[in-house]
Structure 1
Amino acid sequence: MAASSDPADQPEHEPTGDSGLLPAELRSWMRLLAAAGAIEQLLRSRVKDVMGVSHDEFLVLCLLADQPGATLRMTRIAELLGRPKTRLTYQVACLQHAGLITKNAACGDRRGIEVALTDKARRLVSESTRPLADAVSQAIAQTACAQRYTQLHDLLPVPPDPDTEGHTPEKRA
């Protein structure tokens, strides 16, 4: 019996030119999703070990930490995370119970709820996120093929130099 030439039986390779069924944009998107999925899997266990919160709760903390005022409306958090509002309500309740966030009525809209980090959460994020960021860099290196590593890695900001903390990092060369 002859060896199968079915594409599903062939080793994975990177399609070049028009040989693939997907346009380059969709192929790139699928690679990005695969890399993001691998990173998310890695972070799920590390976040719990390092910070004591679930991955989804970690995402809420990161969104709040990255805001200029460190406050967001719950509806905006749900939109940014692509999560149902009911699921977010549970996560916010867990974070509030842990003393990591506060909830207040939105100014000028009594129906809206704004969420903010507590000082305890600021310390936790400040102390815990560098090892997690390093894990993201390692995961990118492991999931991206060699020629794509630099392109994916360039999406990440340059970590601040401890000697120049507070200064704007320069773009990677």
Structure 2
Amino acid sequence: MADPEEHPTDQPECPSLGGGGLLPAELRAWMLLLAATGAVEQRLRAVVKETLDVSHDEFLVLCLLAEQPEGGLRMTRVAELLGRPKTRLTYQIACLQHGGLVTRRSVCGDKRGIEVALTDKARHLLKEASAPLATTVTESLARFMGPEQCAAMRGLVPDVAGDAGAE
């Protein structure tokens, strides 16, 4: 595993949007997205565990639920959005429920449907953890991407450092 303190110039260069290789633009963009996501996930795992005491996959469930204006989501929809098997999601939801972070209830009129929602405890924890988690995301993106990639990513994450990769 790479040393997280390595200088960005010690890292292999991130795939470029500029072209010149064998891949079409769509595949180059996909590779850039995968590289950026991998960099963020690698650094975020430890911060999530430290600040929220949940796994990265459980954190993703919490994030999905946190974006729901009212109520929660059906478990089948959460599984679809995260690309997870329903059996794995059932275990994750059980862990989150045991920690007091989510509730489960039957969907009215559908005996098989289960809806999950955040508890007040989870909302409070996410609010407290938001700043360090957001900082981890922006620092990870800036650290592992060159200037071209940061320029492209700023459209999605405006706080990515403009001079990242030039360190």
The TM-score with structure 1 as length reference comes to: 0.79
Contact 2:102–2:122 at 8 Å: present in 1 too? yes
Aligned to 1:44: 45
Please report how far the alpha carbon of residue 108 of structure 1 lies from its aligned counterpart in structure 2 after TM superposition.
1.5
Query: Does residue 34 of structure 2 align to residue 33 of structure 1?
Result: yes
Contact 1:137–1:153 at 8 Å: present in 2 too? no
Distance 1:16 1:101 in 2: 44
Distance 1:138 1:43 in 2: 10
Tell me, which stretches of 5 or more residues in structure 2 are unaligned? 1-11, 160-167
Instruction: Give aligned-pair identity as a percent.
Output: 62
Please report how far the alpha carbon of residue 77 of structure 1 lies from its aligned counterpart in structure 2 after TM superposition.
0.3
After the TM superposition, which segments of 4 or more aligned residues of structure 1 sit over 2 Å from their partners?
11-17
**Counterpart amino acid of residue 22 in structure 1:** L
Tell me, which stretches of 5 or more residues in structure 1 are unaligned? 1-10, 159-173
The TM-score with structure 2 as length reference comes to: 0.82
Distance 1:157 1:64 in 2: 23
Aligned to 2:137: 136
The structure with more radius of gyration: 1
Aligned to 2:104: 103
Report the CA distance shift for 1:73/1:89 in structure 2 as closer, same or farther (over 3 A).
same
Please report how far the alpha carbon of residue 16 of structure 1 lies from its aligned counterpart in structure 2 after TM superposition.
4.7
Q: Which has the higher contact order (CA 8 A, sep 6+)?
A: 2
